[in-house]
């Protein structure tokens, strides 16, 4: 209509201007007789209107095209309701359950080093690791034994003197003071013998300590020993350590939330079995472990609680080494009458879709747990999800209730 009015107004103005120019070329006295020619502009206007109507009537018309409804291809999982215990996927570090720092208790020069006493060496219990020069300790033991023998001889002589003093006292040949003095000599010498015996035992122990042996089967680490090296004795730097690889543990952490969930349901943590996986190149070594204890403090770096699980090695030396980072799978909290789906099924905070008659139907849920890339939930508010429902796990940008879908 706007186009029509513009064309009409333009034609009308053109006619008026044309006629005005004609009037300007003639005297005023002849204007009225010439009003009849006004019919020409009016005729032009009428013809113009007619042409416009014809053009509008014959113009091409756009017919609306019906767009077919879009069908979304989706993946689904079948809802299954029951008792679910998700596996907590954690990471931990292997630590030595038993290790011994090696320090000779006596000073001296190292005159022998064990054949397997080097980093990574496997040793057996009581195997020689380091030998300190035993000469001074052998002579000291011999001297202490000699002193002990001398003190025992003296004690035997004094006991005989005491026996004679008793006989003389009975015969009233000596005074009571003489008898007491003889008895006192025996007691004093007896104490000296005990001291000499202690000296012998100490010298024996010092001599024994010149041989540093493995306290248990294990692997040697951090060796600091060499032939001819002077060692100053107990309290100095260690010469190495032995790690018992038949008794290794894995230390891992639970967040406050995870730990709190287990405590909330009074579930036992000690004694729970976990799976440990150590990635060695392209190979994965699998182990089982049992949680033995819970850390005494909250870990400041993670804000969680440390757990220690003893790895089952069947008493054999394991290939696991302290410091190795491992993956840990631990059974989580038990949930009854629950369902589990991938987290890609979640829209917003609490909405998932199921397929009903080839269309999306909205359902509200309550998330009760997470496990890796899955969520554990129950139905709430209105229509419930029942076993067998097809839950959509594909993200759809324009997905919403009523959208048509095709199950792959």
- Cα separation of the two ends of the chain: 52
Nearest in space to 181 (alpha carbons), one of 171, 194, 192, 168: 168
Q: pLDDT tens-digit profile of 336-366?
A: 889 999 988 898 888 899 999 888 899 999 8
Give the pLDDT score at 387.
Answer: 86
**Helical (H) or strand (E) element with 292:** strand 283-298
* Confidence band, pLDDT 50/70/90 cuts, at residue 259: confident
Fold match flag (76-85+335-407 vs 101-240)? no
User: Structural domain boundaries of the chain?
Assistant: 2-58, 76-85+335-407, 87-97+244-331, 101-240
Average pLDDT over residues 159-173: 89
Distance CA 100, CA 215 (A): 8
Length of the chain: 408
pLDDT in tens, 113-146: 999 999 989 999 999 999 999 999 999 999 999 9
Contact call for residues 370 and 56 (beta carbons, < 8 A)? no
Q: How many contiguous H segments (helices) and E segments (strands) does the chain have?
A: 5, 23
Comparing C-alpha atoms, which of 352, 330, 328 is closest to residue 340?
352
The pLDDT score that the predictor gives to residue 26 is 46
- On the 0-12 / 13-18 / 19+ scale of CB atoms within 10 A, 242 is buried
Higher pLDDT, 191 or 322: 191
Of 255, 252, 250, 249, nearest in space to 333 by CA: 255
pLDDT tens-digit profile of 296-332?
A: 777 666 678 889 999 988 777 777 888 889 999 888 8
3-state class (DSSP) for residue 12:
helix
Confidence band (pLDDT; 50, 70, 90) for 195? Answer: very high
Structure tokens at 385: 């999800």
Asked if pLDDT for residue 194 goes beyond 70, the answer is: yes
CA distance 152 to 163: 17
Q: What is the CATH number of domain 101-240?
A: 1.10.287.470
Q: Report how far Cα 344 is from the mean position of its chain's Cα atoms.
A: 23
Which residues is 328 bridged to in the sheet?
90, 276
Tracing tokens 């090696």 back to the chain, one arrives at: 102
DSSP tag of 65: P
φ/ψ of 94, rounded to 5, equals: -75, 130
Domain 76-85+335-407 matching CATH 3.40.50.1220: the answer reads no
CB 72 within 8 A of CB 384: no
Average pLDDT over all residues of the chain: 83
Is this model's pTM higher than 0.85 or not? no
**Which 3 state secondary structure label does DSSP give 45?**
helix
Partners of 362 in the β-ladder:
353
- CA-to-CA distance for 118 and 368, rounded, in angstroms? 53
CATH architecture of 87-97+244-331: Beta Barrel (2.40)
């Amino acid at each position: 209509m706007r186009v029509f009015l513009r064309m009409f107004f333009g034609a009308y103005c053109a006619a008026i201007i044309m006629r005005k120019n004609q009037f300007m070329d003639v005297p005023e006295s002849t204007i009225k007789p010439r009003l009849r020619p006004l019919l020409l502009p009016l005729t032009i206007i009428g013809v113009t209107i007619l042409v416009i109507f014809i053009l509008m009537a014959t113009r091409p018309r756009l017919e609306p095209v019906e767009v077919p409804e879009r069908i979304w291809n989706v993946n689904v999982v079948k809802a299954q309701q029951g008792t679910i215990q998700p596996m907590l996927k954690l990471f931990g570090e292997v630590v030595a359950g038993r290790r011994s720092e090696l320090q000779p208790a006596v000073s001296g020069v190292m005159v022998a080093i064990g054949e397997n006493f080097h980093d990574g060496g496997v040793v057996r219990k009581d195997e020689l690791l380091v030998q300190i020069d035993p000469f001074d300790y052998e002579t000291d033991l011999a001297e202490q034994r000699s002193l002990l023998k001398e003190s025992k001889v003296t004690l035997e002589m004094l006991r005989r003197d005491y026996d004679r003093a008793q006989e003389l006292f009975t015969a009233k040949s000596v005074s009571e003071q003489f008898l007491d003095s003889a008895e006192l000599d025996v007691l004093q010498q007896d104490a000296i013998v005990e001291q000499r015996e202690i000296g012998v035992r100490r010298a024996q122990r010092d001599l024994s300590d010149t041989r540093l042996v493995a306290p248990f089967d294990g692997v040697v680490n951090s060796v600091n020993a060499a032939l001819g090296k002077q060692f100053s004795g107990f309290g100095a730097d260690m010469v190495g350590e032995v790690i018992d690889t038949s008794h290794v543990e894995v230390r891992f952490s639970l967040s406050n939330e995870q730990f709190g969930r287990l405590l909330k349901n009074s579930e036992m943590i000690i004694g729970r079995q976990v799976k440990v996986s150590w990635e060695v190149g392209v190979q994965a070594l699998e182990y089982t472990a049992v949680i033995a204890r819970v850390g005494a403090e909250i870990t400041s770096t993670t804000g969680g609680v440390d757990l220690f699980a003893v790895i089952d090695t069947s008493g054999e030396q394991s290939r696991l080494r302290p410091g190795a980072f491992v993956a840990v799978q631990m059974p989580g909290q038990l949930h009854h009458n629950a369902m589990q789906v991938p987290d890609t099924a979640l829209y917003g905070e609490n909405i998932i879709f199921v397929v009903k008659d080839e269309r999306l139907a909205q359902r509200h849920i309550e998330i009760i747990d997470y496990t890796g890339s899955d969520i554990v939930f129950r139905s709430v508010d209105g229509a419930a999800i029942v076993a067998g429902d097809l839950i959509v796990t594909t993200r759809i940008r324009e997905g919403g209730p009523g959208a048509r879908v095709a199950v792959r």
